[in-house]
Structure 1
Amino acid sequence: MFRVQAAAVFHFGRMGFSMQKNLFTKYFTICAGMILASITVLGALLMGFASQYFRSDKLKVLDRYVSQATALTLTDYQKNNYLYIDETTLNSVYSVLADAIEATIFLSDTEGKILICTDTELFASGKDTVPESILKQAASGSYRETGRLGGAYQSRNYTVARPIGLPNGQITGFVFVSASANSLSIFLGQLLNMFLLSSLTMVVIAFIVIYFVTARMVKPLRDMLAATQSFSRGDYTVRVQVNSSDEIGQLANEFNYMAEALARNEAMNRSFVANVSHELKTPMTTIGGFVDGILDGTIPKEKHHQYLAIVSGEVKRLSRMVRSMLDLAKIEAGEMKLNPAEFDLNSTVCQVIFSFEQAIEAKNLDIIGLDVDKIMVSADPDLMHQVVYNLIENAVKFVNEGGYIEVKYHSDGARTLVAIRNSGSGIAPQDLPNVFERFYKTDRSRSQDKTGVGLGLYIVRTVIQLHGSEIHVSSKEGEYTEFAFSIPSAGTKSSQNLFRKNG
């Protein structure tokens, strides 16, 4: 059965490896893609905000200068009694203002005809008038445009305009200030170059960091896959190194726990196969030999009864082994159920003790603790008989010659504590945590336990757990071993819950 499980683990490992070989690339690609996408979005937002800010700032500057030019024009017009303007003076003033902001300043009358312009080539092509639609907008108080000013420019320009109003409200002309929008393209180009250079540097650094971080994260998974391949070959010594306490570290820890459990299970399975093989071979050989001897006359008739008694004992030994195997199958299938009832547990203990009368007399043992009143409990009588039988059998096997077996009871009202102690060599401390495991035997030399297969205590623990409790073992080498468990006392709330749970 375990070989099938190991094969399944290996199959999973191969499937996982086929997926895992691309995990690093996928994770790296996803992280890199997210970084590139973030940089792209950030760059687009930055260029958009920068363009908007640059345009707004440029128009504010033009607004300020067109206001100054308008005020100076109106002052000159007023100085000349609103009859004419001094073209030479205004042209000089416009040039100074235009040079300060690298712009073009020009003056038009109410018909749109250009009167003064700092850029003599701007209207040289014959387009020396401003479209009427623009004049109407400017007459409303202000005008802003990012365009070609009705075809006057070959490229896009920022243009603002102000009307020149007389004290009586009459408009006598318009002042325009215009600057090339190419400066925005130059500014955005320089900004983009700086952004790309800094982004490229950060991307390279980020990719290097992601590469090594991803490789470090994936390494435990690759180690686990390599370990599963070792498991499939029967090598359970491989462990995954744990370097963190995050989810990957926890997974590695659990993987190591699983590996240890598999190693123990494999060792116990091998021990079980060896034990069962020995236990089956010995009685079958004995039974076959004695039956053949009786049939062929080798064993005389007067000794038939003696040897048939031996055969009967070996058959009973096989029966116990088969029963333990069936109980194990029920436990693993989850089919072991309780049929609780109220009964005298001390009576059950006495019956079991009497069934070992010959072994007890042979070892000259003292039995302590049976002279008590009835110990009424609520449990499954048959399963509790099996628990007591296995524990007493265990005690009889390992008690020393002339030693003792002691049974103790203690009730706190709700539950009854039962402890079975035997004198003897005890159990080594390193063996105590494993005594309830399947197929585990502390007496590996088989000098004392010649009939067991290592299932009795595992079945005992399972039955006690079905009754809602636990069994504990304590031992002192060279002195004693004690098994203690508790079960519901009769007529208590705990027993009623047990009846309802299994009713």
Structure 2
Amino acid sequence: MKKLSIKIGIIFFCIIFGLITFMLFLLHEAVVENRVKEELNALQSRGNSHRTVLEKHFNKEIIEHVILMESESNTDVVITDEKKNILSSSITNHSYDKYIKKEFGDIPYKGKIAEGNWRQEPVISTMSPIKINGQTSGYVFMFQDTESVHNLIQSLNKHFLLIGFISVFITIIIIIFLSRGITKPLIQMKEATSQINKGNFAVTLPQKSADELGELATSIETLATDLNYLKRERNEFLASISHELRTPLTYIKGYADILLKQNPPTDEREKYLAIIVTEINRLNLLIQDLFELAKIDKNSFVIKKEKIDLSIFLKRLERKLTPAINEKNMIFNVHNPSSLNLHADPIRLEQILLNLLDNAIKYSKTGGLVELKVWKEKKTIHFLIRDNGKGVPEKDIPYIFNRFYRVEKSRKRSLGGTGLGLSIVQELVHAHGAEITLKSQEQIGTEFEIIFKENEK
């Protein structure tokens, strides 16, 4: 019994079968009791009718007339005097004497049930007092064989048994369709997860309902999409690392072989050594960036926030960038209101801003403009880095923070970089609980905006 559909079907069947059995039992008992009550009421009414006739003329002729009326029916009548001595009877034997001689206490004029135990006794019986001038002059006892009642009960039992079988059959059919309807999407989801487990993330599920199963199906599809994206990212990441490592190693190995085997002149030797040093520095930068990302992914680095005077902080940052600005004959404008403080990690904040400003300088033309603007707005502090450089194509903007993603698909080395800088920036910004956005137009410029929440005093 490993299949969920069978388990659900058995559970539903037991519950519904129990309910049907209980309800049919209650209905059966109610119908039986009602039918017996109707029989007793009919018997009582017949006795009361005879009593009314006898009260008008309580004589032997009328008594025999009443007896004659019941002799051809399926009921029997016994007429007694006030002391329950039998005056006349439609019964040929006196087997009903025990029902007549019982003590009944006060008997109302409307009559009383003399024997109602139809399950154990062979007859049911009613009695009606005969009142003449306000005095009890006798009794009319009516008897009916319980065999007719039992036949009626048997007929009811057959009908209820047939209804029960039909109900069970219909219940089984409903449960089969219901359990399949419930388990079919679960089976499809199981197959989808099996495909995901095998590495096939291109799974789709049928039209989803607006319930928990629909939410689960949506979650599985989302998971498959995310895993597919992560798989592509991993493959691209590994391919990018391989490329980034292979290129400098190829340069280093190539020029080292030349130096070792060909023993070039001094000026060429120095040229080759300079290339080797450049590639080693590039390789070292890549390893440092990968190490930073590894620490971020493992949450093994700690953001140590402290109160930063942004005026002093940005002046120090400006001094660091001055050589690079002057080399490209660029303009660097810093707009910073005085007396503005921020709670952040100063080392990480400098890493964020230097990375963005370095990109702005790198991708701007000689004589271009780079701006750094800081302002406070309600309970947030905004940093805006803007340049008038080459910009980012619109199609590349959604992926600009992805690891190893480059706008230059040819991986031109003239601009340097590892393709990890903006990814590190985004991770560090998020680690501060801040947000970063990008706006850019080709040949017009790019601007990054970072928004810090001022949630510390």
TM-score (norm 2): 0.84
AA paired with 1:470? Answer: E
* Residue among 118, 125, 129 paired with 1:159: 125
* Residue among 84, 93, 107 paired with 2:79: 107
CA distance, structure 2, for counterparts of residue 412 and residue 271 of structure 1: 40
- Is residue 14 of structure 2 the alignment partner of residue 33 of structure 1? yes
Is the contact made by 1:294 and 1:300 (CA closer than 8 Å) also made in structure 2? no
1:34-49 to 2 correspondence within 5 Å?
34-49=15-30
- Is residue 103 of structure 2 the alignment partner of residue 137 of structure 1? yes
AA paired with 2:450? Answer: F
Q: Which moved more, 1:466-475 or 1:267-276?
A: 466-475
Q: Which moved more, 1:401-410 or 1:244-253?
A: 401-410
CA distance, structure 1, for counterparts of residue 140 and residue 408 of structure 2: 113
Task: Write the deviation string for residues 79-132 of structure 1: whole angstroms up to 9, x where unpaired.
Answer: xxxxxx40x5323224436767x4211124577664422243xx2xxx45612x
1:323-472 to 2 correspondence within 5 Å?
323-341=288-306, 342-344=308-310, 345-347=313-315, 349-351=317-319, 353-354=321-322, 356=324, 361=327, 364=328, 366-370=330-334, 376-399=341-364, 403-412=368-377, 414-447=379-412, 451-472=416-437
Q: Which moved more, 1:429-438 or 1:458-467?
A: 429-438
AA paired with 2:123? Answer: N
Is the contact made by 1:416 and 1:486 (CA closer than 8 Å) also made in structure 2? yes
Matched residues, number: 449
Q: 1:155 to 1:394 in 2, by over 3 A?
A: same
AA paired with 1:145? Answer: E
1:27-426 to 2 correspondence within 5 Å?
27-77=8-58, 85-86=59-60, 88-96=61-69, 102-108=74-80, 114-120=86-92, 123=93, 127-128=94-95, 130-131=97-98, 135-138=101-104, 140-141=106-107, 142-147=112-117, 156-164=122-130, 173-198=138-163, 200-201=165-166, 203-294=168-259, 298-341=263-306, 342-344=308-310, 345-347=313-315, 349-351=317-319, 353-354=321-322, 356=324, 361=327, 364=328, 366-370=330-334, 376-399=341-364, 403-412=368-377, 414-426=379-391
Q: 1:98 to 1:245 in 2, by over 3 A?
A: farther
CA distance, structure 2, for counterparts of residue 112 and residue 449 of structure 1: 130
Is the contact made by 2:70 and 2:90 (CA closer than 8 Å) also made in structure 1? no
Is the contact made by 2:24 and 2:164 (CA closer than 8 Å) also made in structure 1? no
Task: Write the deviation string for residues 163-196 of structure 1: whole angstroms up to 9, x where unpaired.
Answer: 5566585x66542111233333343444444445
CA distance, structure 1, for counterparts of residue 298 and residue 289 of structure 2: 14
CA distance, structure 2, for counterparts of residue 449 and residue 199 of structure 1: 87
Give the C-alpha shift of residue 444 in structure 1: 3.4
Q: 1:56 to 1:413 in 2, by over 3 A?
A: closer
Task: Write the deviation string for residues 361-410 of structure 1: whole angstroms up to 9, x where unpaired.
Answer: 4xx46334237566643311111122113223433454456654333333
Q: 1:66 to 1:248 in 2, by over 3 A?
A: same
Task: Write the deviation string for residues 261-318 of structure 1: whole angstroms up to 9, x where unpaired.
Answer: 1111111110110111111122223334444554567344555554444333333323
Q: 1:162 to 1:486 in 2, by over 3 A?
A: same
CA distance, structure 1, for counterparts of residue 258 and residue 222 of structure 2: 53
Task: Write the deviation string for residues 53-88 of structure 1: whole angstroms up to 9, x where unpaired.
Answer: 1222222222222233334344433xxxxxxx40x5
AA paired with 2:209? Answer: S
- Which segments of 5 or more consecutive residues in structure 2 lack a partner in the other structure? none
Q: 1:136 to 1:28 in 2, by over 3 A?
A: closer
Is the contact made by 1:94 and 1:105 (CA closer than 8 Å) also made in structure 2? yes
Is the contact made by 2:364 and 2:387 (CA closer than 8 Å) also made in structure 1? yes
Q: 1:380 to 1:173 in 2, by over 3 A?
A: same
AA paired with 1:353? Answer: L
Give the C-alpha shift of residue 24 in structure 1: 1.8
- Which segments of 5 or more consecutive residues in structure 1 lack a partner in the other structure? 1-18, 78-84, 497-503
CA distance, structure 2, for counterparts of residue 409 and residue 62 of structure 1: 104
Aligned to 1:137, what secondary structure does the other structure show? coil
CA distance, structure 2, for counterparts of residue 316 and residue 105 of structure 1: 124
Give the C-alpha shift of residue 458 in structure 1: 2.8
Is the contact made by 2:251 and 2:276 (CA closer than 8 Å) also made in structure 1? yes
Task: Write the deviation string for residues 333-386 of structure 1: whole angstroms up to 9, x where unpaired.
Answer: 2333221221434235425534745xx84xx46334237566643311111122
CA distance, structure 1, for counterparts of residue 232 and residue 383 of structure 2: 32
CA distance, structure 2, for counterparts of residue 346 and residue 219 of structure 1: 63
CA distance, structure 1, for counterparts of residue 241 and residue 218 of structure 2: 34
Aligned to 1:494, what secondary structure does the other structure show? coil
Is the contact made by 1:159 and 1:177 (CA closer than 8 Å) also made in structure 2? yes
Q: 1:76 to 1:448 in 2, by over 3 A?
A: farther
Aligned to 1:433, what secondary structure does the other structure show? helix
Is the contact made by 2:79 and 2:89 (CA closer than 8 Å) also made in structure 1? yes
CA distance, structure 1, for counterparts of residue 419 and residue 67 of structure 2: 110
